[in-house]
Amino acid sequence: MIGLLESLARPLLRMLDAEDAHRLAINALKIPPFVKLVGEDARLAVRAFGLNFPNPVGMGAGFDKHAEVPDALLRLGFGFVEVGTVTPLPQSGNPRPRVFRLDHDEGVINRLGFNSEGAAAVLRRLAARAEKGGIVGVNIGANKDSTDRIGDYVRLIETFAPVASYFSVNISSPNTPGLRDLQQGQMLDDLLGRIVDARTRVSREAGTTPVLIKIAPDLALGDLDDIVAAARRHRVDGMIVGNTTVARPQALRDSATAREAGGLSGRPLFALATRVLAETYVRVEGAFPLVGVGGIDSGETALAKIRAGACLIELYSALVFHGLRLVAAIKSELSEVLRREGGTMDELVGTDAAAITAQPWPI
Ligand SMILES: Cc1cc2nc3c(=O)[nH]c(=O)nc-3n(C[C@H](O)[C@H](O)[C@H](O)COP(=O)(O)O)c2cc1C
């Protein structure tokens, strides 16, 4: 049923502005008959940062920014859903149009700029579904006009700790000027110190919510050394690698759209994001788990992320081109690999990381 409706709807959705199509998809997910429960292969279960994931395939941040449909997504088969980015105060983001499809490249460029309904609205929704279970992470970001960006992250940790399964600290969006500076030096040290403190302060009432940092794929390797060292020093629970890229691979076919400002995601991001994931994995030395994101569009690319060092994966852009059925397809391909090769998901994690880091840098 979902497949049929999707095949009918997709050509029409393609005619719409990308952001209008996204709004339609969110509204469709609010209608119960579209959503069915799916069975789960026990071999796909993953335990990471104290949480039991029914499968490793997560919905990436940015699809459900305001936590409108996390339960529909979980019922469709995602192992977890990352809502947000949420900012403390509501803000409208950049002027439209601000999301662009690169149809030939199966990529997306967005410069949304953290359009958020704000913490109060998102908290209300998450509190109303808190008893339902399922892993719902909250991706947090600073308001554009904030005079104390680190203070924004601290407030959001305090606010959402009772309802968040984990936090994704987004310091890697390219669309809020200066935000990526938080990935560096003293700023990063202050940020990590204060957010880990905040998490500990509220843990008596809220439990110890895992804190992950989400990084950019555009980091120089020297900066990555520093980030991993700081993350290990502050004992963060994991890293998400990573966000969209400001780079534009030369081979892009939609060359006019590629000139739009913003972060590029989807298939053209895969090689770069997977390389940075492997580079992160070899630096982390097992100190904490990694979530691999960027360009996953099949069982094969999902498996490549896992072999590059991810114990969990997330996707977004490929859903625009392949629809929500992709989630079930990826899971069944992963199941098939485990059945064929024997062993567990854990044993696959990072097996190719060292080899990937020895290859020429992807362009
Ligand atoms: C339209 C759009 C909006 C996004 N919004 C966010 C966001 O609010 N916060 C965030 O951390 N990442 C955001 N992302 C990045 C994704 O979560 C993901 O890191 C990136 O798109 C790479 O994965 P993909 O190639 O599977 O899309 C957004 C991506 C897209 C395409």
- Position 251 scores a pLDDT of 87
**How many Å from the N-terminal Cα to the C-terminal Cα in the chain?**
40
- Please tell me which residue, 28 or 287, carries the higher pLDDT value: 287
* SS3 label, residue 344: coil
pLDDT in tens, 72-126: 999 999 999 999 999 999 999 999 999 999 999 999 999 999 999 999 999 999 9
pLDDT in tens, 289-319: 999 999 999 999 999 999 999 999 999 999 9
- Which is the closest atom of ligand 1 to the Cα of 269? 25
Peptide bond into 301 cis (omega under 30): no
| Residue 160 pLDDT exceeds 90 | yes
CA distance 213 to 209: 13
CA distance 303 to 314: 12
| Residue whose CB lies within 8 A of the most ligand 1 atoms, among 82, 91, 171, 317, for a mutation test | 317
- Average pLDDT for 150-161: 97
- Position 38 scores a pLDDT of 64
Looking at ligand 1, which residue's alpha carbon is closest to its atom 28?
Answer: 62
- Which is the closest atom of ligand 1 to the Cα of 315? 26
| Residue 13 pLDDT exceeds 80 | no
Length of the chain: 363
CA pseudo-torsion sign 334, 340, 341, 345: positive
- Average pLDDT for 339-347: 89
- Position 6 scores a pLDDT of 65
pLDDT in tens, 173-220: 888 887 888 878 888 999 999 999 999 999 988 889 999 999 999 999
- Position 185 scores a pLDDT of 83
* SS3 label, residue 269: helix
pLDDT in tens, 30-55: 987 655 566 799 999 999 999 999 99
Instruction: Point out the catalytic residue in the list 116, 172, 173, 317.
Output: 173
- Average pLDDT for 215-232: 94
Looking at ligand 1, which residue's alpha carbon is closest to its atom 23?
Answer: 294
At 30, the amino acid letter reads K
Q: Is the CB of 110 under 6 A from ligand 1?
A: yes
- Position 4 scores a pLDDT of 53
* SS3 label, residue 93: coil
> 126: how many CB neighbours lie within 10 A of its CB?
20
Q: Is the CB of 87 under 6 A from ligand 1?
A: no
In this prediction, residue 1 has a pLDDT band, given cuts at 50, 70 and 90, of very low
Annotated catalytic, 173? Answer: yes
294 C-alpha vs ligand 1 centroid, how far in Å?
A: 8
